[in-house]
Chain A
Amino acid sequence: MEDAARESIVSIQVDHVTKRFGTFTVLDDVTLHVQTGELIALLGPSGCGKTTLLRILAGLERPDHGRILLHGDEVTERRITDRRVGFVFQHYALFRHMTVTENVAFGLSVLPHAQRPSPGQIRKKVHDLLSLVQLQAMADRYPNQLSGGQRQRVALARALAVEPKMLLLDEPFGALDTKVRKELRRWLRRLHDELHITSILVTHDQEEALEAADRIVVLNQGHVEQIGTPDEVYENAATPFVYQFLGDVNVFHGRIAQNETVPKETHRQPPAERDSSDEHEVTFVRPHDLELSRSRTTTTQLEATVRLIIIAGSRVRLELMSKDSSQIISVELTKERYRELRLQQGDIVFVHPKQLHVFKMPGPSSM
């Protein structure tokens, strides 16, 4: 019950925010509400405006139009220092002439005299934060004596030291290698579950967003494409862009027939009143939503030839070529299914989708 009450408190409100750099519109009328204690991922390709939105929230940029409200107070014109946000930069932005301890203590040591904790209190706080990010042993090192992952943890501890009301992370793991990135992503998620600090994570890595966030905001060319839980945006993409951005997808121009037994296809966009020539239908199917069989069971199945088999860990990826349109179709199978089918290169298989989405696209069909 209490959780539900807390969840309903909106802590960050982005209200019709527009930002232009010269003639280029970076953010186009973006509206977004973030609940207290939530971890939101801003996901999108580079240049979609996600970092700009984050910087506007922090007060590092000013919107041309629109308002920012933090806990109900308008802060659009307020100074950065008064907003109480923690910001974590992609390239750490640590003070390289200060030790780890001095870096973490920075936010406390610049407080006005009256609010500044005593040196003893600062020392204790820094120690606590360093144990939170598991870096007690590195307290006296300088940033360039640390690995990338360690540096980013120092940056996080430094941001948390001032007890921010929200934490903004700008591609925090973007400069790290895959393994460290995955570890830190999970660690961040656990940390968030512990601290419940309202957080916004900017990323272009869909896997990172799907794994770490409570909700995902997909941005494209300055506008919000979709907001939803990771499962929602992945399974029920609102637009073709979201579909393509979140994971691999097969695109079929025109409508492909669907097996009777599978769930009803979902129209996300309003169905056209009549078939006009400046619209065409495009079908999206994820590789793991395609089912293969050795023999034709219904007339609607696509006939295709196996061109390539890639066994990657527990999954098997196949590249098929459809017989009618010579289109390349990628399929993902579990290893068991692959063994059952006993597929070889050059085999003829029959494909049918278990789940698909049809979108109406402007412009005549290109195929």
Chain B
Amino acid sequence: MALVLKQPSVLPGFGLTLGFALFYFSLIVLIPLSGLIVKTTTLTWQQFWHTVTEPRAMASYQLTFGASFLGALINGFFGSVVAWVLVRYHFPGRSIVDALVDLPFALPTAVAGIALTAIYSSNGWIGSYLEPLGLKVAFTPLGVLVALTFIGLPFVVRTVQPVLQDLDKEVEEAATTLGANRWQTFRAVIVPELWPALLTGMAMAFARSVGEYGSVIFIAGNMPLKSEITPLLIMTKLEQYDYAGATALGVVMLVVSFVLALMINLIQWWSGRRHTAS
């Protein structure tokens, strides 16, 4: 495959950069990950299976992947809206809002967790209004969802925004002159153009959420079987010097994340192939 891609180029050093890239990737990604797998192999198959399927672990997977997925969906919708407003409208303070979008990136996650907890707890600014409605956010799975939505937002906005910016305005105008109303133009012309970027943004938000630790542990309450995320469970096992058990859970997260990332890439490839084929 690499040889097929090697085309005569004015830039030298293809072999060199390829070698370096592979070496670097191995050093940074592959070797640590294989370390994880090697450590796990100190467990027997039964021990491994028992560790990764115990009810507490299963509940944590459900929460981690479920909340991450939901968070990615929410961000997919509202992140697109934010990107749309930032690109299409000029309003006072627009550049400030634009800069604020990056805040969840930059903020130490623990700070975000504490801030969210303070606001959503039963005597917090928002929590005190939600409580009478029977909605408890802090220290429940809902709190996990809020935290994961918070940290995932910039991924969607920052991937969708440039695509929206480059969107050919004439294509929309063409749709309008052909009689399409706004909704039809949006659905038939804009969404297909945004779709690959939106999918990438959501995938990145999802991946980030699956691994998120700092912000979640403050707001989650961390009740086993109820509001405990897998990364926390791994930490708990480490604190109990159960290194092999911790890596076993790590391997499960690794495999699931990899499979999901692969699936998203396949969807992207499939949807991208249609208009980049030539």
B177 contact set on A, CB distance < 8 A: 58-60, 80, 85-87, 159
User: Is B275 a contact of A97 with CB atoms below 8 Å?
Assistant: yes
- Closest chain B CB from A171 CB (angstroms): 12
Contact (Cβ within 8 A) B188 A106: yes
Q: Does A145 count as interface, using CB distance less than 8 angstroms?
A: yes
A-B contact pairs, 14 of them (CB 8 A): A58-B177, A59-B177, A60-B173, A81-B180, A91-B168, A93-B168, A93-B171, A94-B171, A95-B189, A96-B193, A97-B193, A107-B179, A110-B178, A145-B278
Instruction: Answer yes or no: A257 CB below 8 A from chain B CBs.
Output: no
Q: Is the CB of B174 within 8 A of A110?
A: no
CB-CB under 8 A from A158, the residues of chain B are 174, 178
Q: Indicate if the CB atoms of B178 and A159 lie closer than 8 Å.
A: yes
Is there contact, CB below 8 Å, between B178 and A107?
yes
Q: Say whether B54 faces chain A, with CB atoms less than 8 Å apart.
A: no
Residue B181 is within 8 A (CB to CB) of chain A in the complex: yes
Interface centre among A80, A85, A91, A145 (most CB of B within 10 A): A80
Q: Tell me if B6 counts as interface (CB < 8 A to partner A).
A: no
A-side residues, CB < 8 A to B, are 58-60, 80-81, 85-87, 89, 91, 93-97, 106-107, 110-111, 142-145, 155, 158-159, 161-162
B residues 162-188 with Cβ under 8 Å of A?
A: 168, 170-171, 173-181, 184, 188
Contact B170 A93 (CB under 8 A): yes
Q: Would you call A142 and B173 a contact (CB within 8 A)?
A: no
Nearest-Cβ distance from residue B171 to partner chain A, whole angstroms:
5
Cβ–Cβ < 8 Å partners of A60 in chain B:
173, 176-177
Tell me how far the C-beta of A26 lies from the nearest C-beta in chain B, rounded to whole angstroms.
18
Report chain B residues within 8 Å CB of A161. 178
- Interchain CB contact under 8 A, A110 and B171: no
The interface residues of chain B lying within 8 Å CB-to-CB of A81 are 176, 179-181
Q: How far is the CA of A69 from the CA of B188 in the complex (A)?
A: 31
Given A95-B188, A142-B274, A145-B277: A89 in contact with B170 (beta carbons within 8 A): yes
> Nearest Cβ distance between residue B277 and chain A, in whole angstroms?
7
**In this complex, what residue of B is CB-closest to A80?**
B176
CB of A180, distance to nearest CB on chain B (Å): 19
Min Cβ gap B179→A in Å is 5
Q: Name the residue of chain B whose CB is nearest to the CB of A58.
A: B177
B108 at the interface (CB under 8 A from A): no
Residues of B within 8 A of A (CB): 168, 170-171, 173-181, 184, 188-189, 192-193, 274-278
Residues of chain B with a CB closer than 8 A to A85's CB: 177
Report the separation of the CA atoms of residues A104 and B170 in the bound assembly, to the nearest whole angstrom.
Answer: 16
CB contacts (< 8 Å) of B168 on chain A: these are: 91, 93
A95 adjacent to B171 (CB under 8 Å): yes
* CB nearest to B191 among chain A residues: A97
The closest CB in chain A to the CB of B181 belongs to A81
The 6 closest A-B pairs by CB, nearest first: A107-B178, A93-B170, A93-B174, A87-B177, A110-B180, A97-B192
Report whether A87 and B173 are in contact in the complex, using a CB–CB cutoff of 8 Å: yes
Question: Is there an interface contact between A110 and B170, defined as CB atoms closer than 8 Å?
Answer: no
CB distance from A116 to the nearest CB of B (A): 11
**Complex formed: what's the CA distance from A111 to B175 in Å?**
12
CB neighbours (8 Å) of A87 from chain B are 173-174, 177
Residues of B within 8 A of A107 (CB): 178-180
- Find the B residue at minimum CB distance from A158: B178
Establish whether residues A110 and B274, one from each chain, have CB atoms under 8 Å apart when the complex forms. Answer: no
Contact B181 A106 (CB under 8 A): no
CB proximity of A213 to chain B, nearest CB, Å: 22
Give the docked Cα–Cα distance between A290 and B22 (Å).
73
Which chain B residues lie closer than 8 Å to A155 at the CB level? 174
Q: Which residues of B contact A144 (CB under 8 A)?
A: 275-278
Complex Cα gap A111–B179 (Å): 7
CB distance from A77 to the nearest CB of B (A): 16
Give Cα A107 to B275, complex, Å: 20
Among A96, A143, A161, find the residue whose CB has the most chain B CB atoms closer than 10 A. A96
Determine which residue in B171, B174, B178 has the highest number of CB atoms from chain A within 10 A of its CB, and name it. B178
Contact of A110 among B173, B184, B277, B278 (CB under 8 A): B184
Q: How far is the CB of A174 from chain B (nearest CB, A)?
A: 13
Indicate if the CB atoms of B274 and A106 lie closer than 8 Å: no
CB distance from B47 to the nearest CB of A (A): 50
State A145–B177 Cα separation when bound (angstroms): 24
User: Is B277 within 8 A of A142, CB to CB?
Assistant: yes
A97 touches B178 (CB 8 A): no
Q: Give the residue name and chain of the A residue nearest to B195 (CB).
A: A97
B275 with A106: CB separation less than 8 A: no
